[in-house]
Structure formats: C-alpha cells, structure tokens
C-alpha cells in the first residue's frame, strides 16, 4: 500500500460547480498536510497548509483533515476555468523537519465554461 493515495482523475466539472478533491494516507504519524496546484509545464504552487485535524478556509478553497479516517480533502467553491490544473496533496510527520514531503500522484481537474 502506498503511503499516500490520490485518484488521478481526470475530473471534469462545469464552471460554478463545487469540486471535491481527496487523498487517503496510511501513516498515522503524518501531522502536516498541504495542497499544491500545478499548471501544465509549471512548478507546483502551495495552495493550502494545515497542521493536524480540522478545517481551513481561504477564499474559495477549504481544506479538511480527518485524522481518524486518514483522509484529507480540498474543496473548491464556484469553480472557474482558471482552476483547471493538477492538484497534489502532500504530507509529512512532525518530527521530520528537513525531509521531503510525501506527495500523492495528483488529480487533474478540468473546469469548462
């Protein structure tokens, strides 16, 4: 079993839809959770960062962490064509400062106008 699982999609939605992107993980020691957005031929861009469980909201984006289920989500409200990209989840243990994040494979999202 991979440490981080993410459905690669592709996921296609119409403009204005609510998008739900998810990752599951197997290591209960993960404490830091991030979501990155990667446009084609560009480096990943940090979108959301959460520590431990709970919700975090930033504009149209909401990140949720459910540690009991080992499940994290990114919700995008009022999706726009400019949200079309690949979204990668990433995570790390608390006592691994200086080590690379563990990434999911990424979900490709396409928002049509």
User: What does the binding site for other proteins look like in residue numbers (CB under 8 A)?
Assistant: 32, 34, 36, 41-46, 49, 88, 90, 92, 97-101, 103-106
Shortest spacing between CB 18 and other proteins, in angstroms: 25
In angstroms, give the least distance from the CB of 67 to other proteins: 18
Min dist CB 5 to other proteins, Å, is 12
Question: Whose Cβ is closer to other proteins: residue 60's or residue 93's?
Answer: 93
* Identity of the residue, 90 or 111, whose beta carbon is nearer to other proteins in the bound complex: 90
Q: What angle do CA 47, 22, 79 make, to 5 degrees?
A: 60
Contacts of 59 (CB under 8 A, 6+ apart): none
Residue closer to other proteins (CB basis): 43 or 113: 43
Nearest distance from residue 102's CB to other proteins, in Å?
Answer: 9
- The nearer residue to other proteins, 25 or 36, going by C-beta atoms, is 36
Q: Which long-range contacts does 82-86 make (Cβ < 8 Å, 24+ apart)? A: 82/111, 83/19, 83/109, 83/111, 84/109, 84/110, 84/111, 85/37, 85/38, 85/39, 85/40, 85/109, 86/37, 86/38, 86/39, 86/40
């Amino acid at each position: 079993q991979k440490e981080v699982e993410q459905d690669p999609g592709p996921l296609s939605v119409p403009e204005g839809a609510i998008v739900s992107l998810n990752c599951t993980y197997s290591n209960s020691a993960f404490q830091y959770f991030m979501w990155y957005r990667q446009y084609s031929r560009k480096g990943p861009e940090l979108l959301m960062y959460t520590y431990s469980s709970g919700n975090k909201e930033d504009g149209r984006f909401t990140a949720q962490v459910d540690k009991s289920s080992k499940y994290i989500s990114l919700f995008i409200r009022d999706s726009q064509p400019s949200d079309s990209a690949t979204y990668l989840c990433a995570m790390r243990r608390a006592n691994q400062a200086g080590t690379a994040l563990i990434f999911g494979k990424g979900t490709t999202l396409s928002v049509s106008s």
